[in-house]
Structure 1
Amino acid sequence: MSTAVHSAPADPPRVEPVRIGPVGLPRWSLGWDMLAWSARYLLQPDGPDAGRPWRFTPEQARFLVWFYAIDERGKFTNRYAVYRRLKGAGKDPLASAVSSLEFVGPCRFGGWRADGTPIVVPHPAPWVQIAAVSRDQTRNTMTLFGPMLSRKAIEEFGIDLGKEIIHSRRGGRIEAVTSSPRALEGGRATLVIKNENHHWIGSNSGHEMSEVIARNAAKSRDGASRALAITNAHEPGEDSDAERDYDAWLSIQAGRSIADGLLYDSIEAPPDTDLADPASLRAGLIAARGDSIWLDVDRLVAEIQDPRTPPSMSRRFYLNQVVSAPDGWLTAPEWDACADPGRVVEDGETVVMFFDGSKSNDASGLVGCCVSDGHTFVIDAWEKPAGPAGEGWEVNRDAVNLAVRKAFGRWDVVAFYCDVREFEQHVDLWRDEYGDRLLIQATTGQRAHATAWDMRTRVREFTAAAERTLVDLADRALSHDGDPRLRRHALNARRRPNRYGVGLGKESRNSDRKVDLIVCAVGARQARRDLIASGALLKRRSNRTGRVWSF
């Protein structure tokens, strides 16, 4: 009788995670002294190492050092931080450790040492709030303080452990707060932990809570009151507080917002992680968990492969990926897998372009597509700025015209499709100025026009172009420049069935989540296909060389 021997699955090839966050280390930080203090006074609150001295993982320590980075004046460089990780990666223990440091540990600038390093002192009146939209969420963090604060800390700082409020001898406190924006108004907390703010939405007063927390922090006497959000990956389109954080970070990265002081830290699985391929899935999970090595990969694989677990949930909670809403036009992994930011569009390269314009509400964009390989890239975009700067904003038409002129001066533009609505005059001017350089006309027939491509009358063509773009993305037959503005617009797009197939559009008519750049990208790729089908490029090459080139 033979006995089968089952061996553990071999470790998959290592893959690099997608990392969001600052590079390197800050010049000055209070975090180094805080790390040393936590090792003396804090304990591991749970797990097999419960009761042993607390140790931040390298990723957590790096985050702490950046969160407590200061400038030459001793002021914090980051006023708000987001720590996004997969489920079970230790977000609550990290939040409890940071809260403990704010409560009774060194956490504020106290001058400079002779060697140029900062002196770190306790806050004179610490007030830490653990905020959430439900009592159960605050409990996840509050229950960790008892086992985390060592007996030495309790005795030395006179800590009184309560279930919802924790006091210290010198008057500091930690308290749990839930969905009561009015009760929060006017508070002067020194640190607010926004727990699981992917659950903070309009219907549970989550947005009101977040706004009150921001107002309270802004009026702090020393300007050092801050908030830290701990979250899983949000669901796009739900308009959660976590999604607004992510959109704000994207706006800053794209240069659409002049705001600063937002620290966003995330590690997620590579976009091409295949849930159906065990090796790819294991590699993606190992990448996403980072140094949270206590997470059992086999157990996570089992949860993901359970037919009751939707793929979108698996990607959000276990791979830490931001995936599209159920009616999303495409997913983030599909889009990100086709990014090729290293592809340089050389001066003089033959390209086609698509322009979609708006006066004030929607965005305006100019996107190019290389004829040689279909690489799609953002030439320029104009979006209403966020916040007060957007009041009364209108697109600068001179800037748009200048961008078009520069594009024609830099590249060999052989087709230029323009949606005409709200830019009719400019579209005609571009026809007159550049029409003789274009190899195909945007509109043919009785109403032929070199540049006008009116989307109101081209629903059939645009729907087919949108469907073809999705096929190209799935087949990796499309590359793009990875522009964060284009990515945001692509992920904002929703499936819009019509009598010709499935097109794309905004989530609602008045939505602030724009899609204009992905419309331009789809249109530019359609212009390239039309150019190739026309044979005009082959004729030009034949006329120039006397030979017929294959394409």
Structure 2
Amino acid sequence: MPWKPSVDGEIPTLGYEVLDWITAALAAPDHADYVPFVPYREQEDFILRWYALDPDTGRRRYSRGVLGRPRGWGKSPLLAAIACVEAMGPVVPDGWDAAGQPVGTPWSRVRTPWVQLAAVSEEQTRNTWAPVLEMLRAEAPVHDLVRGLEPMESFVALPNRGRMESITSSARTVKGARAVFAVLDQSEEWVPSNGGVKLATTMRSNAAKVGGTTLESPNAFIPGEGSVAEESAAFHDAILSGRSRDDGLLYDHRESPPETDMTDRESLIAGLRVSYGDSSAHPGGCVLHTPPCSPGHVELDRLVATIWDPAQDVQQSRSDFLNQITHASDAWVSGPEWAARVDLGRALAPGDRVVLGFDGSRGRVRGKADATALIGCRIADGYLFEIGVWEQPAGPAGKGWMPNPLEVDRAVREAFESWRVVGFYADPSGWTEHIAKWEAAFGKRLRVKATQGAPITVWPRGKDARVCHYVEQLRVAIVTGECAHDGAPSLTRHVLNARKRHTRTGYLLYKAYPDSPEKIDAAYAAVMAWKARTDALSQGIGRGGGNGKVLVLS
């Protein structure tokens, strides 16, 4: 029988069965006597999404998941509960019942269940493994539901040779262990130097072979470290921007608003209530649901005291408690700074006066082609927007890929048709012929010119001291709020990828390391668009109405 939604827009999920099993079988950790484990409403919502099914095939919708929350939110108990239900509960789709609703069955009906909880150190594995043992304590009802269950100190023996175990990146047997489910705990700490990236790749491959799943639980990562959490965020971005054929990743990361002021108590409490959600304890109950649910376990006043401790590092507090993905020490713009300038309410209208910035691909690094980016900026209010970013697709589709010049040319011409383009600055490297054609086609229409002889071409002999000034101009505009942007994922990723490298006259933008596959081309295109806007304003092409009058800026 096919899936029958009970209400419009409903998505089939095994989550309801999973939640029933969890609350009926498991003990809540950190209690002297038996108390059933009952997830918060926010945690229930995640479980419903994680166990979503494809209504056509009846298969699990997601093969990978990321649950990003701040320290102390309750990730470890929730993941321990999910690991237990994966080992023993109804998580495998088994068709639809007579009412057209999904039915689940345990892995033991399909294959021997093998569940792993992994981290890159013994101390980290205890974060999730300790709650597992508490949930399976002797008086927990799970022992009545699953006969033959034997919790040990380092593993849990399941009936019919099944097994739950904790492992680290030093485990030698992980390659042959085809776990049906694996937790990748604190994946922001999984980096190439400690074997974390290799371990994650191996565990995902193992799960794929048996139709299993993996679930990460990172805190906020530091961009540029190459962690597993950072790679998963990049995969999520690729899905959003249409650069990935696979969309089987459930990405659930929540952080405090970027405008959270850590020196202002009211603002800080409000930000913490967002990042901690239902787990925060406060008189009004939870933030995420109405009517209010019961307050959680996290005392926000204690967090404020910790954050304001003079010995506490500010950036560490942003990562640990606000769950904000901030920046590397040499980042050009931080995540919160950039996020604070997103303005989705500003709509572009036909005929708006805009300027364009273009940075084209010039070569390949380790087989990956540079990106090509066309970024616009409205003169009236300094609104940056993404017109097109052409990047090599992931996987086999990207082999030998190069940007299609016809697509890029069409995007440029459509921009001139859609808006009043008064300036267009482009880096000529690798695109000299195309830029020459654009200069011939549009040069006379441009009121803002790089030079009279070459109205579009900027820095023809490479980046010099002036470019250092242009880069810093845009950074200051972002930090002070003079600049806003559309939040486009590719532009955002390129801006946050950009690193500062100091020169004798300032600094320029570079990738995190020379061979990095992460691109920054859209960031440079934005720099050129912003420079064109600055030149337009200096020539009297002002913010209002386009009457050509000189505007005196305060």
Q: Same fold (TM over 0.5)?
A: yes
Choose which of 24, 33, 36 in structure 2 pairs with 1:53: 36
Against the structure 1 CA distance between its residues 542 and 229, is the aligned structure 2 distance closer, same or farther, given a 3 Å change threshold? closer
Greater mean deviation of Cα atoms: 228-237 or 114-123: 114-123
Shift of 1:307: 2.2
Paired residue for 1:494, among 475, 493, 499?
Answer: 499
State the 1:310 CA deviation.
1.6
Report the Cα distance in structure 1 between the residues aligned to 2:468 and 2:126, rounded to whole angstroms: 49
- Please list, as runs of the form range in 1=range in 2, the aligned pairs for 1:308-319 lying within 5 A after superposition: 308-319=311-322
Determine the structure 1 residue equivalent to 2:282: none
Residue 9 of structure 1: aligned partner: none
Question: CA, structure 1 residues 116+379, in 2 after alignment: closer, same or farther (shift >3 Å)?
Answer: same
1:99 aligned to 68, 83, 98, which one? 83
Q: Structure 1: how far apart are the matches of 2:131 and 2:449? A: 67
- Unpaired stretches in structure 2, ≥5 consecutive residues: 1-7, 280-295, 364-368
Report deviation, 1:504.
2.4
8 Å CA contact retained: 1:181, 1:212:
no
Number of the residue aligned with 1:163: 153
In 1, Cα distance between equivalents of 2:191 and 2:252: 21
Could you say which residue in structure 2 is the equivalent of 1:8?
none
For residue 550 of structure 1, report the CA deviation from its aligned partner: 4.9
d(CA) in 1 for partners of 2:551, 2:54: 60
- CA–CA distance in 2 between the matches of 1:550 and 1:268? 39
Q: Secondary structure at the match of 2:91?
A: strand
Task: State the shift of 1:475 in Å.
Answer: 1.7
Amino acid at match of 1:399: E
Task: State which of 231, 238, 242 in structure 1 corresponds to 2:229.
Answer: 242
The 1:37/1:413 distance shift into structure 2, 3 A limit, reads same
1:233-276 deviations in Å (ceiling 9; x for gaps): 11111100011001110111111222211001122100011112
> Structure 1 112/437 Cα, relative in aligned 2: closer, same or farther at 3 Å?
same
Farther off after superposition, 382-391 or 450-459: 450-459
8 Å CA contact 1:26–1:69 kept in 2: the answer is no
SS of residue paired to 1:328: coil
Q: Quote the offset at 1:382 in angstroms.
A: 0.6
Note the 1:345-384 alignment, pairs <5 A.
345-360=348-363, 361-384=369-392
Residues 359 and 395, structure 1, Cα contact 8 Å, conserved in 2: no
Deviations 1:421-458 (A, max 9, x none): 000001111111111111122124xxx31111126444
**Per the alignment, do residues 26 and 261 of structure 1 end up closer, same or farther by CA in structure 2, a change over 3 Å counting?**
farther
Query: Which among 62, 68, 88 is matched to residue 51 of structure 2?
Result: 68
Which residue of 2 is the match for residue 145 of structure 1?
132
Counterpart of 1:390 in structure 2 is: 398
SS in 2 for 1:170: helix
CA distance in 1, matches of 2:241, 2:81: 33
Looking at structure 1, the residues matched to 426 and 395 of structure 2 have their Cα atoms a distance apart, in angstroms, of 29
Shifted more, 527-536 versus 204-213: the winner is: 527-536
What secondary structure, in the 3-state scheme, does the structure 2 residue paired with 1:232 have? coil
Matches within 5 A, 1:178-197: 178-180=168-170, 182-197=172-187
**Which of 433, 439, 450 is the aligned partner of 1:431?**
439
**Higher alpha-carbon deviation: 404-413 or 151-160:** 151-160
Structure 1 residues 490 and 541: CA distance shift in structure 2, 3 A: closer
* 1:202-351 equivalences in 2 (<5 Å): 202-220=192-210, 223=211, 225-292=212-279, 293-351=296-354
Q: Which segment is superposed worse, 109-118 or 76-85?
A: 109-118
Contact kept in structure 2, 1:142 and 1:163, CA below 8 Å: no
The answer (yes or no) to whether the contact 1:25–1:66 under 8 Å persists in 2 is: no
Alpha carbons of 1:541 and 1:153: their partners in 2 closer, same or farther (altered >3 Å)? closer
- Deviation per residue, 1:309-345 (Å, 9 max, x gap): 2221111110011010011111111111111122111
Cα distance change on mapping 1:542 and 1:305 into 2, 3 Å: closer
Aligned-pair CA distance for 1:78: 0.5
SS in 2 for 1:275: coil
Give CA deviations for 1:117-173 in whole Å, capped at 9, x if unaligned: 112221112110111111221122222223212433224422111111101233321
Aligned partner letter, 1:108: V
The one-letter code of the counterpart of 1:246 is A
**Aligned twin of 1:20:** none
Query: What corresponds to 1:402 in structure 2?
Result: 410
Q: How many residues align?
A: 516
Hey, what's the Cα distance between the residues in 1 that align with 2:9 and 2:329?
39
- Which residue matches 2:92? 108
Paired amino acid for 2:411: A
Which amino acid counterpart does residue 295 of structure 1 have in structure 2? V
The 8 Å contact of residues 154 and 160 in structure 1, kept in 2 or not, is answered as no
Q: Report whether the alignment pairs 1:154 with 2:155.
A: no
Query: How far does residue 508 in structure 1 lie from its aligned partner after superposition?
Result: 2.1
Going from structure 1 to structure 2, the CA distance change for 1:138 and 1:462 (only over 3 Å counts) comes to same
2:471 aligned with 1:484:
no
Structure 2 CA distance for aligned equivalents of residues 50 and 434 of structure 1? 77
Secondary structure, aligned partner of 1:143: helix
Match of 1:7 in 2: none
In structure 2, relative to structure 1, the CA distance for the partners of 1:134 and 1:541 (3 Å cut) is closer
Identity within the alignment, %: 38
CA contact (8 A) 1:330 1:470 kept: yes
